[in-house]
């Protein structure tokens, strides 16, 4: 986002970074992003109210991602410190997927006698103070919604060392086949909605169709973020009754 705005919402960060609501919360905890609120026409940090800002995220309520904001300057500073665009790494795997990969229970996983795989954040960076962070999060409801991740390279080394063979259904990068299948499902749903709605009202523009609640609901990735507008447009534009710029079909009288 290049607009000269002073604040940015969690919803915008979810979209820009390709992360879930709780991924953004984890990023805020690790990289010291404090939410802000407005008072007397000025933006102030939430911790100035002597209240625990983490409670803003727990429990998550409808619309919370639009109500919680950070200073855009703080986000920009974080992006500069990272020295690269902030985006969820494709080379990570969460605990749930790892349990499926090894076909074991959570209790079995926690009982590992050898070195425990290093847990990382959504960027794939090692979380240095993981014990303290975990203990602190236990005091919040819904904290089990937060996912810690592991680097696939670390997991593959661990598997090689212990002779672990991933189950057949998740060989290689386990999320990729699932993402492709989900992508096709969302594409099909959006096309079905577009065909039906354009049959009912051929005057709907492609822009309005993309923004419709039905399409928005159908075009969500597995992590809860939305597919790019261009992607959705490519899915449905050929179905539009009239794709001429600025033209709408005339309604029958």
The rounded average pLDDT for each run of 10 residues, N- to C-terminus, in the chain (253 residues) is 75 88 88 84 77 71 72 88 84 88 84 80 87 76 79 90 68 55 88 91 91 90 81 89 53 42
Domain ranges of the chain: 7-82, 92-170, 175-239
The whole-number pLDDT of residue 229 equals 86
The pair phi, psi for residue 152, each rounded to 5°, is -60, -35
The whole-number pLDDT of residue 162 equals 83
CA distances to 39, 51, 102 from 55, rounded to whole Å, are 19, 8, 35
The whole-number pLDDT of residue 214 equals 92
Helix (H, G, I), strand (E, B) or coil at 40: coil
The two three-digit tokens of residue 251, written as one number? 């309604």
Q: Other C-beta atoms within 10 Å of 176: how many?
A: 10
Helix (H, G, I), strand (E, B) or coil at 77: helix
The whole-number pLDDT of residue 53 equals 77
The whole-number pLDDT of residue 151 equals 93
Is the whole model's pTM more than 0.75, yes or no? Answer: no
The whole-number pLDDT of residue 39 equals 80
Residue pair 98/109 in contact by the 8 Å Cβ criterion: yes
Looking up tokens 């429990």, which residue turns up? 59
């Amino acid at each position: 986002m290049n607009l000269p705005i002073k604040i940015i919402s969690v919803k915008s960060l979810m979209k820009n970074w390709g992360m879930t609501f709780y991924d953004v919360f984890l990023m805020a905890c690790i990289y010291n992003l404090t939410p802000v609120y407005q008072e007397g026409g000025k933006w102030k940090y939430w911790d100035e109210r002597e209240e625990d800002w983490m409670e803003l995220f727990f429990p998550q309520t409808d619309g919370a991602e639009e109500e919680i904001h950070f200073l855009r300057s703080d986000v920009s500073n974080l992006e500069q410190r990272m020295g690269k665009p902030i985006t969820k790494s494709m080379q990570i795997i969460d605990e749930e997927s790892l349990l499926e990969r090894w076909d074991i229970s959570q209790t079995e996983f926690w009982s590992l006698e050898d070195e425990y795989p290093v847990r990382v954040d959504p960027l794939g960076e090692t979380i240095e103070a993981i014990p303290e962070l975990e203990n602190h999060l236990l005091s919040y409801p819904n904290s089990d919604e937060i996912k810690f991740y592991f680097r696939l390279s670390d997991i593959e080394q661990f598997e090689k060392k212990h002779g672990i063979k991933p189950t057949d259904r998740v060989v290689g990068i386990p999320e990729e086949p699932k993402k492709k299948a989900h992508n096709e499902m969302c594409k099909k749903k959006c096309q079905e909605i577009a065909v039906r709605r354009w049959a009912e009202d051929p005057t709907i523009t492609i822009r309005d169709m993309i923004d419709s609640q039905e399409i928005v609901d159908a075009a969500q990735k597995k992590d809860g973020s939305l597919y790019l507008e261009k992607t959705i447009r490519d899915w449905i534009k050929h179905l539009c009754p009239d794709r001429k710029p600025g033209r709408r079909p005339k309604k029958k009288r």
